[in-house]
Structures are given as structure tokens and as C-alpha cells.
Chains A and B, each alone.
Chain A
Amino acid sequence: MDFREIIAEGELGVWLEAAQAIADNHEVRVLKQPETCIVMLQATDSVGFTPFYLGEVLITEAVVEINGTAGYGFVLEDDPQRALCMAVLEAALAAGVSETETVRRLVAEEAGRIAERQRMENGLVAATRVEFAIMEG
């Protein structure tokens, strides 16, 4: 699972606590405050494989720096806290701060929870698998 997917899907409270712990011990420079912006979403049709724009997607982006290493936060919707957490955690891991192991463990734990939820929902969906029989005559 992509690191960003884990932060996006994981429990915000976990990330807030982890990011706060890093901010307490290291200088986190916010290079770009969380800001909303729009991504134009591109798709491809299956008739002629023509690229086209499906519509736009609201996201929040943020950039921070820890010990000269940048971290980027990109999340769906207007979600400044999560974007900032993602940026802080990415910068912290890339900078190899002392909390690296803790952050890795939290990320792995959340990844496990997300996968478990996904398995559960996949199970609900899989239970709707159908095989219709054609009626005779």
C-alpha cells in the first residue's frame, strides 16, 4: 500500500499525535501552509482510447521541511490537518529523525487496519456474486 494511501485512509488522530511528537522535538518549517486546490482528472474511454477530462477533484496540499528535507502532503477534499500530517510524516521519515521507527510502526499498524477493513468490505461485496440461470422454455 502506498504511504500516502495509508495516511489518507488511516485514523487522523494517530497521525496528529505522531506529527505533534515530531514537531515537539524537531523544527518543522512549513514551506506551504495547507491550501485547497483542484486537480483536473483525466480518463481514457474504451471506445477509441481517447483521453478526456472527467471533471475536477478538490484536494489539499501542504509542504514542510525537517532538517532540510521536504515532505509533501496531498489529500482529497478540504482536509488541512491530514495534509499537514502527511507532509510532516513524509519529511520525518525522509530525514531519518529519531522517531522514525515509531512512525514506521504506526504506519504499518494503520496499514494493517486499513487492509482488514478492506478485506471485510470486499467480503461483503463478494457475497453478492451472482450466477443467474436461464429459465427453460
Chain B
Amino acid sequence: MGYVAVTGGTAAILRADELVHYYRVRGGSTPLEVRQIRDQQRLAVDKVMGEGSLYAPTIAALALKQAEGDSIEASFILRAYRATQPRRYASLAIDCCRMQVIRRISGAFQDIPGGQILGPTRDYTQRLVDFSLLEERESIVREFLDRARIETAGKALPDSFPKIVSLLRREGLLEDPEEGDRTLRDITRESLGFPYPRSAKLQSLARGETGAMMALAYSSIRGYGDIHPYLGELRVGYVPMYIRHPARPEPVYVGKVLVTEAEIIAQYAEGEKGTVPKLSLGYGLCFGHNELKAISMGILDRAMRSKSACKAPAEDEEFVLYHIDGIEASGFVAHWKLPHYVTFQSTLDRLRRSQALKEESKDAESQGD
């Protein structure tokens, strides 16, 4: 039977909402400033923007404050906010070659043109609790910032970094781009059937939930798949965004957006007889600084193009794309908290009836003996 709704409970629901507010502030500490969250919880803000699919750092920080740090709840709030805003423009395609890089590394090549730039990373550090942060004060932060300004004098960074994959492509080591539907589609405006056009796949992945994508990518690299990826290049930085406006003949600059881009090199393309073996690529790009998501996206993009006859979950496009949206997934999992009294009662009725029928048939059998 279908879901039967409930009604009432307004007073309790309102008080529960107030109680949420109470639990958020009952510790009596100074209320968090949204700017503090935006500045000092930047990776959480970036995650929420990516999963909420809206680049709006202040609103994302506010959503995190409202959601008491629950990133899925915050991305839900952000996506709901997005629905209140009119969409007036589509940007020109951003160019990641023009990225103002803060981090750029390759896991596949030792020497890369432009060099490896670690940037802000914890990769090579021990994950020990930093107890000094317990005593972090404004004066300490100011001193640190002043010292950083002096120490960096004279070190320069190239204006742009060449793409490593374009070097591979020039050498003829990469497979040619696949033919297929390359039209620009928008999953927020149209309902598409599987298989998705490539643009829709990438759009779905770009707004996916980091943890879900990581788990599926992990399953693939652990062995439920046949991709064997290398990280060709990972770059994090700011890209300028331009729009076209009827009042201006030239593209109009609107701002720079922080993104993470990952290019995954998979071992030889699953060769068909008679073809030259080549490397293949997977592509990951997401809002903010979110390396796990960009790398997972690159792995999944490549895994979903697997031509294997027996596909692992991470290679099944429908499976992956149906399960990575954090808002859809959390909504469905969480909806079991809502009253299902009538539907469950119906299940119980059916169970009791089945048990009774079973008893009756048992009795009939024993009488027959």
C-alpha cells in the first residue's frame, strides 16, 4: 500500500525546533561569527558548496552554523536557498589552465613542467593533536601572519602551469576522446534517462557527496573494478569566471572561483584486438578545495566508462549516479524517521494473517495424518 500521511503535532514540532536552537547555544560560549566559520573552517565550507552545488561561501558558512556542523544538512539548506534564486546567466567555460594555483602535484611523474607545488596540504604530516591550538589567541595569529609576509619575499610562482595530460596527449600516449553525446545538458532542468550524456554525468558527479563518492572510488581501486588509476595531476586554485551580458560586447568578469581539479590516468585502455594500447583518463572537478572528491570523481568518471562485460558497482553508471547525491540519499534514509504507522500496521496485519494461514494449514496437515 502507499504511504498514508499523518497530521497534527504542530506544537511539539515548534518546540522541537526551539530545542534544537537551545542545544546549539546551551554551552553559553560566544556565538560563532559566520566570518570565522568561512575563514577557519574553509574545507567544511568548500565541501558544503560542492555538495549543495552552489558557490556561495558566506551562505555555506551560515548553513554550517545553522546545521551545527552537519555538512549534509548544511548542503541541503544551501540547495534549498539556491532554489529561491533566479538563474540569470550561464558563464563562459572556465579555463583551468588559467588557474591561479595554490597547489599542483602529480603522483605519476617526478618532474613536471612548472614543478610540483605542495601548497596547503597535510599530506606529509603526522595527524597528531595540536594542543597549541587550545591557546591560540589573536596576537599569536597576527604574529604568525606578519612573519609569513616577511619570509616569502622574493619567491615567485609562474602565471600558469601546463597541463600534464596535454604533454601525454602530444606524445600519442592517450586514447582519443570517445565519440558520443557531447551536448551540454542540465540535470537540474531536465529529467534524463540512462545512459547519461557525458555532460550530465560530470554534472552529477560534481555535486555528489564526498563520502559516497570516496566509498565507491575506494571499492574500485581495491579491486571491484579494473582501472588501476594514477594521479596524473591535481591542482587547486582560483579560476576567473566570465559571463556574456547584452550591454557589453566583451565577456564580463564576475569573480574568481576556487576549484579542485584531478586528472586520473588509468592503465591501458581496455584494448580491442588490432588497436594500439593507450592510456585513458578520468576527469574530476569540484567547487572549493576538496581533493578527495575531485580524485574520487576522476576515478568514477573513468570507472563508469569501463567496457567490462561484468561490471563492478563503481563501473555501473546508473548505480553510481543514483547513489552519490547526498541530499537525495540522506533524504531517503532519513525519511524512515517520519511516521509510517499505517503502512507498518498494514505490514503487521499481513504478517498476522500469514501466520494464521500457516497455522491453519499446519492444523489441517496434522488432522490429515
Question: Which residues of A line the B interface, CB within 8 A?
Answer: 2, 4-5, 8, 36-59, 61, 70, 72, 74-78, 118-132, 134
Q: Given A52-B202, A77-B57, is A37 in contact with B93 using a C-beta cutoff of 8 Å?
A: no
A58, B56: Cβ atoms under 8 Å? Answer: yes
Contact of B157 among A44, A55, A75, A126 (CB under 8 A): A126
Contact of A57 among B54, B245, B281, B282 (CB under 8 A): B54
CA A50 to CA B87, docked complex, whole Å: 22
Within the complex, what minimum Cβ distance (angstroms) separates B142 from chain A? 15
CA A40 to CA B206, docked complex, whole Å: 13
A52, B56: Cβ atoms under 8 Å? Answer: no
Within the complex, what minimum Cβ distance (angstroms) separates B302 from chain A? 8
B110 contact set on A, CB distance < 8 A: 132, 134
B199, A51: Cβ atoms under 8 Å? Answer: yes
Interface residues on B, range: 35 or more
Highest count of chain B CB atoms <10 Å: which of A61, A129, A130: A129
B88, A123: Cβ atoms under 8 Å? Answer: no
A37, B287: Cβ atoms under 8 Å? Answer: no
A39, B287: Cβ atoms under 8 Å? Answer: no
Known: A43-B202, A122-B156, A125-B117. 20 other contacts (CB 8 A): A5-B240, A38-B88, A38-B89, A41-B257, A42-B90, A44-B93, A44-B94, A48-B198, A51-B182, A52-B198, A52-B202, A55-B207, A77-B58, A78-B58, A122-B157, A123-B155, A125-B157, A126-B155, A130-B115, A131-B116
Within the complex, what minimum Cβ distance (angstroms) separates A3 from chain B? 8
Question: Which residues of B line the A interface, CB within 8 A?
Answer: 49-50, 53-59, 82, 85-96, 100-103, 110-111, 115-121, 148-149, 151-157, 163, 165-166, 177-178, 180, 182, 184, 186, 188, 198-200, 202-203, 206-207, 240-241, 243, 245, 247-248, 252-257, 259, 263, 280-283, 285-287, 301
Contact of A48 among B96, B155, B156, B182 (CB under 8 A): B182
The 7 closest A-B pairs by CB, nearest first: A123-B152, A48-B177, A76-B255, A58-B56, A52-B199, A126-B155, A128-B118
B153, A72: Cβ atoms under 8 Å? Answer: no
A123 contact set on B, CB distance < 8 A: 152-157
Within the complex, what minimum Cβ distance (angstroms) separates A126 from chain B? 4
CA A124 to CA B243, docked complex, whole Å: 31
CA A33 to CA B240, docked complex, whole Å: 25
CA A38 to CA B30, docked complex, whole Å: 33
Q: Given A46-B283, A125-B103, A127-B151, is A55 in contact with B206 using a C-beta cutoff of 8 Å?
A: yes
Contact of B281 among A46, A72, A134 (CB under 8 A): A46
B153, A125: Cβ atoms under 8 Å? Answer: no
A52, B203: Cβ atoms under 8 Å? Answer: yes
A53, B184: Cβ atoms under 8 Å? Answer: yes
Within the complex, what minimum Cβ distance (angstroms) separates B218 from chain A? 21
A54 contact set on B, CB distance < 8 A: 94, 203, 206, 259, 285-287
Q: Given A37-B86, A53-B203, is A45 in contact with B283 using a C-beta cutoff of 8 Å?
A: yes
Q: Given A40-B89, A74-B254, A76-B255, is A46 in contact with B59 using a C-beta cutoff of 8 Å?
A: no
A74, B243: Cβ atoms under 8 Å? Answer: yes
A8, B186: Cβ atoms under 8 Å? Answer: no
CA A78 to CA B54, docked complex, whole Å: 13
Within the complex, what minimum Cβ distance (angstroms) separates A26 from chain B? 20
Contact of B248 among A8, A37, A45, A72 (CB under 8 A): A72
A5 contact set on B, CB distance < 8 A: 240, 253, 256
B301 contact set on A, CB distance < 8 A: 45, 47
A59, B184: Cβ atoms under 8 Å? Answer: no
Q: Given A38-B88, A42-B93, A123-B152, is A50 in contact with B56 using a C-beta cutoff of 8 Å?
A: no
B118, A45: Cβ atoms under 8 Å? Answer: no
Mind listing 9 A-B residue pairs with CB under 8 Å?
A: A46-B281, A48-B178, A50-B202, A53-B186, A58-B55, A76-B257, A77-B58, A124-B148, A130-B117
A43, B255: Cβ atoms under 8 Å? Answer: no
Contact of A129 among B117, B153, B202 (CB under 8 A): B117
CA A54 to CA B115, docked complex, whole Å: 27
